[in-house]
Chains A and B, each alone.
Chain A
Amino acid sequence: MRSRFDEQLATLNQELTQMGAMCEEAIAAASKALTTGDGKLTDKVLSLDGEINRMERAIETLCLKLLLQQQPVARDLRQISAALKMITDMERIGTQAADIGEIIAFMDGRTGAECQQIRFMADAASQMVTESIDAFVKKDVILAGTAIGRDDVVDDLFLQVKSSLIKLIAEKPADGGYALDLLMIAKYFERIGDHAVNIAEWVAFSVTGEHKK
């Protein structure tokens, strides 16, 4: 009985890791598309988003099955409930990466110096996601803490992007639409950072049993 349960828990871990890897890849593709304006990359982000959504459903079903059939307690229960929360955040990350991809496709390959700044944001955000997934894989609370701390970096970068975009609008009012697109992208990356923080917090919860908020 227990060995079957252990097997199911291992599957849950595996699928969560895979879903995390998909999120990482989606963000990486989105941020690369931002600097290259490559249409193929945006398509990839969109298809990854679809896969992430399917994965969320699958993991959700598995979690509910485990909860109902095995009635886990203590650490197992924490792990499963944390997984249920984490997949919501991962799904949001996937959707936001897809939104970024859509905006980039809409921008028609236009890139500029402002994009570089957003690229830094994208790098920081994707590193946060990588760290939080790593923390999950290694059950490393310290790494989860590092990921949470990095959110400030992303927030600061967002403010910088915002002020430089304000300047851009003031200087070239005709580029207002472009500037707003970039602002949306920056905001999405900032949100991705927040979701990464959530994931890291749930990782810490599943290990220590304490959820900081």
Chain B
Amino acid sequence: MTQKIFRSIMAAAGAVLIASLVIIMGGLYRYFSSVQEKQLEDELSLAVIAVEKIGQEYLEDLQSDQYRFTWVSENGDVRYDTQSDEESMENHGDREEIRQAFQSREGKSLRYSSTLLEKTLYCARRLEDGSVLRISVRSVTIWVLVLGMMQPILIVIAAALVLSGILAGRISEHIMEPLNSLDLEKPLDNDTYEELAPLLKRINKQHRQIEMQLRELQRKNDEFAQITRGMTEGLVLLNEKNIILNINPAALKLFHTKESCIGEDFLTVERSLNVNRGIQEAFSKGHSEISMEREGKEYQLHINRIESNGSLIGAVVLAFDRTEAAFAERNRREFTANVSHELKTPLQSIMGSAELMESGLVKPEDMAHFVKRIRTETERLVTLIDDIIRLSQLDEGGDMLFENIDVYEAASEVTAGLADMAAARNIKITLTGETVWVKGVRRLLTEILFNLCDNAVKYNKDGGTVEVSVNRQGTEAVISVKDSGIGIPPEHQARIFERFYRVDKSRSKESGGTGLGLSIVKHAAEYLDGKIDLHSSPGEGTAVQVTLKISSPQAI
């Protein structure tokens, strides 16, 4: 900027300088030239008069350094010259000014020296006798003048250079100062040259565009962050160099790292061979799945390559917590194994008895015993299958009829049904409490009560007690079944609600249970939105409490 201004100023100054030089020099030179010419003519007129009157003596007496007089006779020979010896001078008849004077009395001419540094002005006049008197004066040419002026001209140019340098600096500073102090954040609030207005308007427009794009970007970022933050699955985005681009809180927890790991190599966060091989595989093949264990939990990692226009730009790692799924799978496998085992045992017994009878090895008097065994085993099988069906019904969910049930009444039916079995072992069943209405499925409620009371009798000591109570506590109905039985050791308490789980595996046959009773209770209570609490100590007995929501008073 400064340079440009400097150059323009210099050019202007130079042009003005040269123009004025040419004009002044030219004008003055012409003026002086014409003055000189006039003087020359006057001088010649005087000289002509004098020569005509006095003759050659006048010229001989004339003392003049400035003018040179030459008297030429009519045939062109030089009669007299004030500066040279006339004898050595050649014929002047062919000189222009003299020729003119011969012809028309007056003659004039201008001749330059060979170097152009000098010029000679000639004036000639014919005298009365036909001879010609010529006067000449030498003067320097305009170039010599210019050359002579060179020093001051150079000084002026130097001064112009310095001055225009300073001026250019000042001006550009002056021009730039408001530009530099422009507030580009608010382009329209600036008070500056009006020439800048279109630029500022454009900047303002671009500002708005950028702001809008930024907001849009921010919004998308936020959206992405919100979505990933809420995810229970761990999510990690990697670029093609395995650098972490994004990681959500679930993944931060999984890999035990902090948000500061963004921008670092994923290896610094997780370096296990398993995971990194999975990532490499995903990079090369597009997809990989690996499982890994962390603090007793099982995770499944899905790694996918991300491509854009056919080139690899990174990978996304998605980690699922598979602990529960794995647990459920294990449960299912165990259940299948248990069911087949439980079904096979009575069948084996039936088959054995039948085979013995078939081969005729059984004496007629023992026949009844074997038939009885077949019957009891079949009964066991049926109960077992019944239980399984009930459980699978509960598993299926399905809609069951909800009605208002009097829990106390249901309990009294169950206890009455078990009275014979209890009496056989001298066990006393008591039922206390009040009428409480709940909204539920009658069959399930009976199932809960029956299984709890049945267990309480089965796993009791002979001559023990079973206390059943039905009470209302606030908005809840509390069913409590307490026995004085053998109790459940603490290490088993957490597992007794699992299918086929037995505390004492050797006693299962003797007590006749299927190992599904409590499992049914648990599922039924869950279906009825109830809660089960178990308190038990070995040798002292067990108390099971089932809490159900009572029906709203209006429904009763």
- Per the CB 8 Å criterion, the residue count for chain B at the interface is 9
Q: Give Cα A92–Cα B57 distance, bound, in whole angstroms.
A: 135
Which A residues are CB-close (under 8 A) to B242? Answer: 14
Among B6-14, B264-272, B311-319, B519-527, the stretch in contact with A:
B264-272
Interface of B is mostly: mixed
> Which positions 271-296 of chain B face chain A at CB distance < 8 Å?
271-273, 276
Report yes or no: A138 in contact with B268, Cβ–Cβ below 8 A. Answer: yes
A14 to B272, Cβ gap below 8 A?
no
Q: With A and B bound together, what is the CA distance between A22 and B241 in angstroms? A: 20
**Smallest Cβ distance from A203 to chain B, in angstroms?**
13
Contact in complex: A21, B265 (CB < 8 Å): no
The answer to whether A58 has its CB under 8 Å from any CB of chain B is no
A133's nearest neighbour on chain B, judged by CB, is: B271
- Map CB proximity to A onto B219-247 as digits: 1 under 8 Å, 0 otherwise: 00000000000000000000001100000
Query: Total contacts A to B, CB within 8 angstroms?
Result: 31
List, in ascending order, chain B residues with CB within 8 A of A21's CB: 267, 271-273, 276
Chain A residues 142-178 with CB under 8 Å of chain B are: none
Q: How far is the CA of A147 from the CA of B550 in the complex (A)?
A: 61
- The residues of A that contact B273 with a CB separation of less than 8 Å are 18, 21-22, 25
Which A residues between 1 and 49 are near B, CB-CB below 8 angstroms? 10, 13-14, 17-18, 20-22, 24-25
* Beta-carbon contact of B272 and A25 below 8 Å: yes
User: Roughly how many angstroms separate A17 CA and B271 CA in the complex, as a whole number?
Assistant: 7
Across the interface, which residues of A come within 8 angstroms of B241, CB to CB? 10
Chain B CB within 8 A of A180 CB = no
Nearest CB of B to A211, in Å:
23
Q: How many residues of A contact B (CB 8 A)?
A: 13
A137 at the interface (CB under 8 A from B): yes
A18 touches B268 (CB 8 A): no
Q: With CB as the reference atom, state the residue of chain A lying closest to B268.
A: A137
Identify which of B267, B272, B276 contacts A137 (C-beta below 8 A).
B267
Is A17 within 8 A of B272, CB to CB?
no
A18 touches B272 (CB 8 A): no
Most A CB contacts (10 A, CB to CB) among B241, B242, B273, B276 go to: B273
In-complex Cβ contact of B267 among A14, A24, A25 (8 A): A14
Q: Which of B242, B265, B268 counts the most chain A CB atoms within 10 A?
A: B268
Min C-beta distance of B239 to chain A, whole Å: 13
Residues of B within 8 A of A25 (CB): 272-273
Nearest-Cβ distance from residue B128 to partner chain A, whole angstroms: 104
Among B267, B272, B276, the most chain A Cβ lie within 10 Å of the Cβ of: B267
Q: Indicate if the CB atoms of A18 and B276 lie closer than 8 Å.
A: yes
Smallest CB–CB gap between A12 and chain B, Å? Answer: 12
Complex CA gap A115/B268 in Å reads 33
Residues of A within 8 A of B276 (CB): 18, 21
- A20: B residues at CB distance < 8 A: 271
The answer to whether B265 touches A10 (Cβ under 8 A) is yes
CB proximity of B240 to chain A, nearest CB, Å: 13
Min C-beta distance of A94 to chain B, whole Å: 13
Query: Taking CB as reference atom, which chain B residue is nearest A10?
Result: B265
Roughly how many angstroms separate A25 CA and B265 CA in the complex, as a whole number? 20
Q: Do B271 and A18 touch (CB < 8 A)? A: yes
What B residues does A133 contact at CB under 8 A? 271
Q: Which residues of A contact B (CB under 8 A)?
A: 10, 13-14, 17-18, 20-22, 24-25, 133, 137-138
Q: Across the A-B interface, give the 8 residue pairs with the lowest CB-CB distance, nearest first.
A: A21-B271, A17-B267, A137-B268, A17-B271, A25-B273, A21-B273, A14-B267, A21-B272
11 pairs, A vs B, C-beta closer than 8 Å: A10-B241, A13-B265, A13-B267, A14-B242, A14-B265, A17-B265, A17-B267, A18-B273, A18-B276, A24-B272, A25-B273
